[in-house]
Structure 1
Amino acid sequence: MSKGLGLARPTVRSSSERVDWNLLRTFQAIAQELSISRAAVRLHLSQPAVSQALKRLEEQLGTALIERNGPRFQLTAAGIETLRIANDVQGQFAQLDAAIEGVGDQVVGKVRLLSVDGVRCRAYDQALASLRRRFPGLAVEIEVQPNDEILRALEQNTATFGLAINPTRYPWLAQECMTREHYRFYCGPEHPLFGVSGISIDSLKQEPLILFTSDLLGGTLNALADFRHRHGWRGPVMGCSANSQEVLRLVLAGYGIGCLPHPLYEREQARGELWPLPPERVCTVDINLLWNKEQRLSRAEAVFLAGLREATALLANA
């Protein structure tokens, strides 16, 4: 796709009169995902529909927003500016929703929450049930995303709340611990150590490993990498994924040992599909409720936040 698209840039009407917000929202998803296919999944649309929306927006603006290089693409200078403005526009719409909701008596609206996969927390589940009973007009959209993508979306105000690991304190980000995950090593029934008792930590140092993609020094699961570094583990990495269910799949298939959160996999252990390895606890990781302190909340978002914070208070007092 050429930069100019061969189009004459419209001059009669301003962009605010030409541009369809739905097209801008679609472009926002494309730019954040850097993928037509992933944007289509996120927006619950077909790939041709997303591609056509991008084409129509570029025609309305009279300029290219992305540059293709085979299957990959990058934003043009105009695309970068369009994304910035799209994020600002979305924030303004959120403020409009907040202003309109503030004059009504009922709590009506949708809340978007991004979450890492596999969160198990009774207080969280109870808070959602309580919110449903108290505010039947409150709709909730929960989308599973990688940890780093959640932090990025909160920074850009494209999501209001997140459930994620946050090892770094950002001045704009508020957080409260929702639940804690305790990690230990496991192997599956295909592994030669399955069912073997009396295994020492030293005997595991050369074992093939299955890792989370964020399990790196400086990553969100830095504590796991730090443990291996301190104990001199040098086993080859035979698989990795950002999704905990896929890490579990590779462990069960015998590709290596993996450090998994308990009690997320206690069911598999109870069924005899996972064998615990030493040490009993490698580390503890907080799953935090996160929100951008600088973002104005709608009434629906405010009551949702209050409900979840009640759940975090239960954990703090436990």
Structure 2
Amino acid sequence: MSFDLDTKFAFQLDWNLLRTFLVIAEEGSITGAAHRLLRGQPSVSLALQRLETDLGCRLIDRGHGTFRLTAAGRQLHTECTELFSGVARIPELTHAASNEVSGEVNILLASHVVTPLLDAELSAMSAAHPKMRFSIRIDTSARVIHSVRERMASFGICLVNRRFSDLTYTHMYREFFGFYCGPTHPLFGRKGLSLHDLRQYPAVSFDTDDLNDALRPVALLRSKWGLDYDIVGRSSQLEEVRRMIQCGMGIGSLPIHVVEQDVARGLLWRLPPYDDPPEVDIFLIRSPRKRLNRAEALFVDNLEARIARTPLDARIYRDHPSEAP
């Protein structure tokens, strides 16, 4: 049998080097990759050097605090993602005759995605297909969108500030943000307040609470009433923003339906505006170019069907959302 150069390269290449490179790119560091792979850092660094030697090009610019993929590295990362996605589907493809669905469903969420639509689908899928496995990762909306666009994630659920033509968007639900303070704050328990009363106090916010980011409606309200001049704490995670508010560090915005139990327990106090609070839409986003495994395709198709059959009024959460059908 004769081989051309490309075929010969594929047979001679140590494919473990590609897996190591993929983990390095995902972790963003040699140290992180070594920890995830349960290998020593020198071993991982050597594997990267071997791969760069075999390919005859530099894949990562590193040194002096810099770590970023080169153009060749970005292209290889895309190919490796597709390659290992295909490899992961081999077991289910070899058992295609079976009616039982197995495989891993990777879900990427913005931090304050709380909806019975997702909860009901997770419950239904795990009950109907006990061999399915689920991995849920939390990130900022911007990173969720980036990961889906680059096909590093199968799909995501997040806020959307700017739409891209290479993604599809399904409107999942609408939530409303209220302003809150914690038990030790001077405004806690006070009624009849106005937005003017909030001006003199420090604030905490989400990283995306910006005029050019996903929480633009909240940022617009802050700017209009002068509530953005003294930001003493920021986080991309809802739990940490809530923690800072509860600790009395400052006034902050949170999804009304998510924290109503905290209000009932006396851990938070709702502040104005009481009428017409900022509204934010949450979307299920997908890339048509991304090949999903069987479990992921079934899950996301069923989730989209659940959204479609749920009336819009039932997907608008001013208070606690009702149970999904």
Give TM-score, length-normalised by structure 1.
Answer: 0.83
Give, in angstroms, the shift of residue 77 of structure 1: 5.0
Partner of 1:6: none
Give, in angstroms, the shift of residue 59 of structure 1: 1.8
Partner of 2:44: 53
Q: Deviations over 1:15-68 (max 9, x none)?
A: 6632324x4344334334534455578xx555x546633431322432653333
Task: Please list every run of 5 or more consecutive structure 2 residues that lacks an aligned counterpart in the other structure.
Answer: 1-7, 315-325
Query: What amino acid is aligned across from residue 178 of structure 1 in structure 2?
Result: M
Task: Please list every run of 5 or more consecutive structure 1 residues that lacks an aligned counterpart in the other structure.
Answer: 1-12
Give, in angstroms, the shift of residue 191 of structure 1: 1.5
Query: What amino acid is aligned across from residue 57 of structure 1 in structure 2?
Result: L
Q: Deviations over 1:256-292 (max 9, x none)?
A: 1001112211222111111111002531222222211
1:98, 1:145 → 2: CA distance? 29
Partner of 1:127: 121
2:166, 2:97 → 1: CA distance? 28
Partner of 2:194: 200
Is 1:28 equivalent to 2:19 in the alignment? no
Classify 1:98/1:294 alpha carbon distance in 2 versus 1 (closer, same or farther; 3 Å).
Answer: farther
Is 1:147 equivalent to 2:131 in the alignment? no
2:277, 2:11 → 1: CA distance? 54
Classify 1:99/1:296 alpha carbon distance in 2 versus 1 (closer, same or farther; 3 Å).
Answer: farther
1:296, 1:263 → 2: CA distance? 34
Equivalent pair of 2:139/2:236 in contact (CA under 8 Å): no
1:208, 1:243 → 2: CA distance? 19
Query: What amino acid is aligned across from residue 259 of structure 2 in structure 1?
Result: Y
How many residues end up aligned between the 2 structures?
A: 304
Secondary structure of 2:286 counterpart: strand
Equivalent pair of 2:112/2:255 in contact (CA under 8 Å): no
Classify 1:30/1:148 alpha carbon distance in 2 versus 1 (closer, same or farther; 3 Å).
Answer: farther
Of 257, 262, 267, the match for 1:263: 257
Classify 1:107/1:51 alpha carbon distance in 2 versus 1 (closer, same or farther; 3 Å).
Answer: farther
Equivalent pair of 2:202/2:232 in contact (CA under 8 Å): yes
Partner of 1:304: 299
Partner of 2:248: 254
Query: What amino acid is aligned across from residue 189 of structure 2 in structure 1?
Result: G
Partner of 1:243: 237
Partner of 1:157: 151
Classify 1:54/1:143 alpha carbon distance in 2 versus 1 (closer, same or farther; 3 Å).
Answer: farther
Partner of 1:229: 223
Secondary structure of 1:112 counterpart: strand
Classify 1:38/1:118 alpha carbon distance in 2 versus 1 (closer, same or farther; 3 Å).
Answer: farther
2:218, 2:14 → 1: CA distance? 47
Secondary structure of 2:304 counterpart: helix
Give TM-score, length-normalised by structure 2.
Answer: 0.81
> What is the CA RMSD across the aligned residues, in angstroms?
2.9
Classify 1:168/1:204 alpha carbon distance in 2 versus 1 (closer, same or farther; 3 Å).
Answer: same
Is 1:209 equivalent to 2:200 in the alignment? no
Classify 1:91/1:109 alpha carbon distance in 2 versus 1 (closer, same or farther; 3 Å).
Answer: closer
1:15, 1:262 → 2: CA distance? 55
Give, in angstroms, the shift of residue 241 of structure 1: 0.3
2:306, 2:233 → 1: CA distance? 35
Higher mean C-alpha displacement, 290-299 vs 83-92: 83-92
Q: Deviations over 1:96-148 (max 9, x none)?
A: 67865656543222221111224322232111111122223322221122221
Classify 1:100/1:60 alpha carbon distance in 2 versus 1 (closer, same or farther; 3 Å).
Answer: same
Secondary structure of 2:122 counterpart: helix
Q: Deviations over 1:276-318 (max 9, x none)?
A: 1100253122222221122233332221112211331244353
Secondary structure of 1:114 counterpart: strand
Query: What amino acid is aligned across from residue 204 of structure 1 in structure 2?
Result: L
Query: What amino acid is aligned across from residue 196 of structure 1 in structure 2?
Result: R
Secondary structure of 1:162 counterpart: strand
Classify 1:191/1:312 alpha carbon distance in 2 versus 1 (closer, same or farther; 3 Å).
Answer: same
Equivalent pair of 2:178/2:254 in contact (CA under 8 Å): yes
Is 1:288 equivalent to 2:283 in the alignment? yes
Higher mean C-alpha displacement, 204-213 vs 72-81: 72-81
Partner of 1:3: none
1:117, 1:208 → 2: CA distance? 23
2:256, 2:58 → 1: CA distance? 48
Secondary structure of 1:120 counterpart: coil
- 1:6-45 → structure 2 map (5 Å cutoff): 14=9, 17-21=12-16, 23-36=17-30, 44-45=36-37
Query: What amino acid is aligned across from residue 18 of structure 2 in structure 1?
Result: L
Give, in angstroms, the shift of residue 223 of structure 1: 1.3
Equivalent pair of 2:173/2:282 in contact (CA under 8 Å): yes
